[in-house]
Structure 1
Amino acid sequence: MSHLANDKQTFLNIAVLTVSDTRDDTTDSSGRYLAEALVEAGHSLADKKIVVDDVYQIRAVLSQWIADPKVDCVITTGGTGFTARDNTPEAVKVLFDKDIEGFGELFRYISYTEIGTSTVQSRALAGFANKTVVFCVPGSTNACKTAWQKILLEQLNSTHRPCNFVPHVG
C-alpha cells in the first residue's frame, strides 16, 4: 500500500492495555476513555485488559496481540514514568521491529503546553511489531486524552493527509 491516505476510511481493530498495580475495571478511567474514544471514532475495540506493572506480564499480553492478525493497533496506558514500578518502555521496546521516534517527541511537545516541564518525565513511545502499531502513553486520563485527541485520532484515520499509519498495519 502507498503511504498516502485513501479517500475511503478504513477502521482498525484496536486493543487497550492498562498497566497498573492499583487499577481495576471500576477505577480504570484512562483505559475506559481510550476504549470509548476509539469506538466513537469508528474503530473496533479488539480487547481490553489490565495488567500489573511487570515486564513479563506486559510482554505476555502484548505479544499475544501482536501475533493476532485481527489486532491492528495496541494502545497501552501507564507505566511510562520513572518509579521503580514503571516498566512499560522496558517491556515493550524490545518487541518493536521499528521505532516511531516522532510519537514520543510530539507527545512531549504537546504535553509541554499543558503541563510544562513535567513532560520531561514522560517516556511515551511507539513502534511497529509484526505489522501492529503500538503506542504507549502515560497513565493519567488527561495524558490519554492528549495522545488520542491531538495525535492518534488523526494518525489512525485512513483519510488523514498527507499520511497516516493505517496503510502500515495488518
Structure 2
Amino acid sequence: MSAMTASKEKTFLNVAVLTISDTRTAENDTSGNYLASAIEDAGHTVHSHQIVKDDVYQIRAIASDWIANENIHAIITTGGTGFSGRDSTPEAMSVLFDKHVEGFGEVFRAISLEEIGVSTIQSRALAGLANNTVIFCVPGSTGACKTAWNNIIGKQLDSTYRPCNFVGHLTEKWTKV
C-alpha cells in the first residue's frame, strides 16, 4: 500500500499513550484514559499507557524506548505542551523526530480556535515521525485530546481514511489483526 493512498482492508495498530504531568495519577488521568479508550474503540491496541513527570529526560527515555520498539506503531502524548515553567514536551520530543509533521499543530490550532478562541495560541501541539513511528503530542486537557483524536489522529490512524493516512508510512512496523 502506498503511503499516499488508503487501503480497503482495515489495518489495526499498536499505540502507546504517555501522559506527561507532575500531578496526574492513574485514577485522575482523564486525558490519557480518554485516549486509551478512543484507541481501543477504533479497534487498535493500547500497547502501553504510562504517566511520567514533566521532565525532558524522563520523557525522552520512555519515548525513545517506544520508538525503538518494533511493535509500537504510534505514540500519543498528552500534556506538557503549554507555556508554564515545567511544560517541556516540545523540547523533549522534537529532537527525536526524523521528520516533523508541520501541519498537525497548525490544523489542531485551527480546529481548536473554533472551540476555545484565541487561547489556542498557547498550545504547542506537534507531531513527527521517528523510526517509522508516528508521534502526536497534544495538550493535557481532555477536551484537547478529544479535539485531536476526533478531528485528526483517529482519521490519520485509520488505514481506510481517504485520500491518505499515516498507516502507509508505518509499513515496516505494522501488524494486521
Q: For the superposition of Structure 1 and Structure 2, which TM-score range results when normalised by the shorter chain?
A: over 0.9
Letter paired with 2:91 = E
Question: What's the CA shift string for 1:37-88, capped at 9, x where partnerless?
Answer: 0000000001000000000000000000000000000000000000110000
SS of equivalent to 1:159: coil
What does 1:9-20 align with in structure 2 at a 5 Å threshold? 9-20=10-21
* Alpha-carbon shift at residue 153 of structure 1 (Å): 1.1
Tell me the TM-score normalized by structure 1: 0.99
CA distance in 1, matches of 2:132, 2:167: 10
**Does residue 112 of the first structure (1) align with residue 113 of the second (2)?**
yes
* Alpha-carbon shift at residue 122 of structure 1 (Å): 0.2
**Equivalent residue, structure 2, for 1:52:** 53
**Equivalent residue, structure 1, for 2:89:** 88
Letter paired with 1:141 = T
Structure 1 unaligned blocks of 5 or more: none
* Alpha-carbon shift at residue 168 of structure 1 (Å): 0.4
Letter paired with 1:107 = F
**Does residue 30 of the first structure (1) align with residue 31 of the second (2)?**
yes
**Equivalent residue, structure 1, for 2:150:** 149
Structure 2 unaligned blocks of 5 or more: none
CA distance in 2, matches of 1:128, 1:29: 26
**Equivalent residue, structure 1, for 2:130:** 129
**Equivalent residue, structure 2, for 1:63:** 64
CA distance in 1, matches of 2:128, 2:153: 13
Letter paired with 2:112 = S
Tell me the TM-score normalized by structure 2: 0.95
What does 1:95-106 align with in structure 2 at a 5 Å threshold? 95-106=96-107
**Equivalent residue, structure 1, for 2:6:** 5
Letter paired with 1:86 = D
Letter paired with 2:128 = G
- Root-mean-square deviation (Å): 0.5
CA distance in 1, matches of 2:24, 2:144: 16
Letter paired with 2:22 = D
Letter paired with 1:167 = G
Matched residue pairs, number? 170
Question: What's the CA shift string for 1:93-143, capped at 9, x where partnerless?
Answer: 000000000000000000000000000000000000000000000000000
